[in-house]
Copies of this chain bind each other. A is one copy, B any other.
Amino acid sequence: MEIVAAALALFAARGYGATKLEDVACAAGIAKGTIYLYFANKEDLFRAVVRQELLPALARIEAAIEVHTGPTQDLLRLLMAHFVQMIESELGGIPKLVVSEAGNFPEIAQFYADEVVARGMAIIERIVARGVDRGEFRPVEAARLTPVLVGPMLCMLLWRHSIGRHSAIGFDHRAVLETQIDILLRGLAPEPGA
């Protein structure tokens, strides 16, 4: 819906508290009162923004991973490419929003941790396990590796959707991605003797 899209943009830019429903309505091209026909109140709208938009994206990634059959490093590349896409889309505002408002919406934080982060980590751990199983990676503990794998991308996502908007410092997402993949593949390469 238009309202959710407008709300996402404004919530992400200003935060929950600083976003006026009047501005959301204005951005969505409707009147203030109309929001209340679709959402019980501001909190309800906020929850809808976080819930409705992210899960489909995650499902798409899971599906893409599922059907993949080639080398694990291609799978890794595929995953990262999805990430870069999200960084560059409006959707990237959601993680930023959840980080910002976690303190005021603990159940949103929990929902996000359970439904997005946990599932995302599971995807990655499966990829790593697959690589180890197939002898493409040396044996590593997947749990400890996850932050190393997603951290750089997540950081760039948050940067782009917050401080980066107000600074001249920018990152070439794709170049960083290549470097990251390069380091990872070398760092995970099986020991020559093994």
Chain A contacts to B: CB under 8 angstroms: 12-18, 96, 98-104, 106-107, 109-110, 112-114, 117-118, 121, 140-141, 144-145, 147-148, 150-156, 158, 162-169, 171-172, 175-176, 178-180, 182-189
Q: Which 9 residue pairs of A and B lie closest in terms of their CB atoms, listed nearest first?
A: A17-B17, A151-B152, A113-B167, A183-B187, A100-B100, A187-B187, A151-B151, A109-B166, A151-B155
Can you report 25 A-B residue pairs in the complex whose CB atoms are below 8 A from each other? A15-B17, A16-B18, A99-B158, A99-B163, A100-B162, A102-B163, A102-B165, A102-B166, A106-B165, A109-B165, A110-B166, A112-B163, A113-B167, A117-B169, A121-B169, A144-B176, A144-B179, A147-B155, A147-B156, A147-B180, A150-B155, A151-B153, A152-B152, A183-B187, A186-B187
Q: Known contacts A17-B18, A147-B180; can you find 8 more A-B pairs with CB under 8 A?
A: A102-B165, A121-B169, A144-B178, A148-B152, A148-B176, A154-B155, A182-B187, A186-B189
Q: Is the CB of B104 within 8 A of A18?
A: yes
Question: Is the Cβ of B179 less than 8 Å from the Cβ of A145?
Answer: yes
Contact between A114 and B145, CB atoms less than 8 A apart: no
- Asked if B106 and A141 make an inter-chain contact with CB atoms under 8 angstroms apart, the answer reads no
CB distance from A46 to the nearest CB of B (A): 13
Partner of A179 from B102, B140, B153, B183 at Cβ < 8 Å: B140
Which partner residue on chain B sits nearest A103 by CB separation?
B13
Interchain CB contact under 8 A, A15 and B104: yes
